[in-house]
Structure 1
Amino acid sequence: MIEIILEASKARTAPNFLIKDIPGTTGRWDVVIRCLRSAFSFPREINEKINFTVLLGGLPDPPKLFKFEGSIFNDLRNEILGAVFFRDLVKKSMKIMKTTEISPGIEFSRINLIRYLDRKLKNGEVVFYLSENGFDINKFLTSFKMNFTQKLNFIIGDQSGFRPELLKYLSKISKKLKLKGNKSYLSSQSIKYLIFELLKLGIIKH
């Protein structure tokens, strides 16, 4: 199982926004929605081997972590429907204090990303994060893929990059990887290219 984790450090944690200005009034939910759609843009037999998690870290009620299970969750058809869907999720979350399945295939919790990753490490999972100056993902995973029996987690930043405290933490507990070439990728593009690489290496079986 692969989990892709997005830190959306400024994404709003309340349901009020203008549908005509999703980027400007939601702290860039549009980026979150594109990333979610990219993660589940593959055939069903691939999607069901992927989980997508997003940490909303913006005002007024952070942190909010939503985990989407690819084996259950159905892809969003477009960005507008995605914004309405997220609005409803965030609205539901306002009164929830405990970890719960907030919607079929979607788990909600009030936990920051560092605590969430700490739990994964204690469970023996492997954590990587994407960076433009990291190790070549293809070369690195090719040399180690036979040892990967644990769940793999890949952390991606949004348009603002990682918060300094998270980056400091990641540099201590995980390996920094980069996608092919010297090009800068949008977060949603990074997710798609990452999945292509994992498929090519046979880490995601299909």
Structure 2
Amino acid sequence: MKRFAVVGHRAATSGTFSLNDLAGSAGRMDVLCRCINASFFLSHDLRRDVECYLILCGEPGPEKTVLFSGSALRYLSPDERSSAALVKKALALPCGDEFRESTPGVYVRRGGFTRLLAEVPFAVLDEAGEDIRAAPALPEAYLLSDHLNFTPEEEDLIAAYPRYSVGPRSLHADHTITVLLNEMDRRESGWIS
């Protein structure tokens, strides 16, 4: 199973945001929705071996985590609004400490960054990390930040985590996921140049 977790530092934690203003009222939910699409979409199919966690840290709080699981995912279309509608529906559910399904393959629970770090052995995607193309083996779980850098508190929590880079330039989070999945596909298929 390949896993991606994206920290949405300002992403809304309630479903009251407007689907017409994902960058504003939803706290840059547009960035997270692009990450969902990059994690799952192939031409005419979805990746069923991927999970994507959205760690929502914005208003009104407290933190929540929305999980998209490719093995059960339904009703996702390749546009930001579709992804955001599924997030919005998940956030409308009363949630507790365990994941609760809102639609097939989409789950929500209370808790965020610290809790997820305790559950999944992540590597961090970082421009200064080891080149993924030079790494002999790749981890299966990766942590990314949205359009903002990790906070100093988050950096303290992940200081000892392995770090990988997809290239010499800073990319958007969704583009980073695409490049990384391409590298994984190439290795899995034996199609390495």
Which interval holds the TM-score relative to the shorter structure? 0.7 to 0.9
Q: What's the CA shift string for 1:52-106, capped at 9, x where partnerless?
A: 11100001122100111111113333222333332222111xx222313322222
The answer as to whether partners of 1:99 and 1:107 remain within 8 angstroms in 2 is no
CA distance in 2, matches of 1:105, 1:83: 14
Match of 2:82 in 1: 81
Match of 2:137 in 1: 144
CA distance in 1, matches of 2:83, 2:122: 28
CA distance in 2, matches of 1:100, 1:158: 22
Higher helix share: 1
User: Aligned residues, how many?
Assistant: 188
CA distance in 1, matches of 2:185, 2:46: 9
Match of 1:156 in 2: 144
The answer as to whether partners of 1:9 and 1:158 remain within 8 angstroms in 2 is yes
Mean Cα displacement is larger for which, 101-110 or 187-196?
A: 101-110
Pairwise CA RMSD of aligned residues? 2.2
Q: Which 4+ stretches in 1 moved above 3 angstroms? A: 43-46
Q: In structure 2, list runs of 5 or more residues that go unmatched.
A: none
Match of 2:42 in 1: 42
**Offset of residue 43 of structure 1:** 5.7
**Offset of residue 199 of structure 1:** 1.1
TM-score (norm 2): 0.87
The answer as to whether partners of 2:86 and 2:106 remain within 8 angstroms in 1 is no
TM-score (norm 1): 0.82
Identity percentage over the alignment? Answer: 22
Higher RCO (CA-CA < 8 Å; seq separation 6+): 1
Match of 2:176 in 1: 190
The answer on 1:177 being equivalent to 2:164 is yes
CA distance in 2, matches of 1:3, 1:82: 17
Match of 2:69 in 1: 69
The answer on 1:107 being equivalent to 2:102 is no
Match of 2:188 in 1: 202
Q: Which amino acid aligns with 2:157?
A: Y
Q: What's the CA shift string for 1:27-70, capped at 9, x where partnerless?
A: 01111111101101126887111111110000112210011111
Which of 131, 144, 157 aligns to 2:126? It is 131
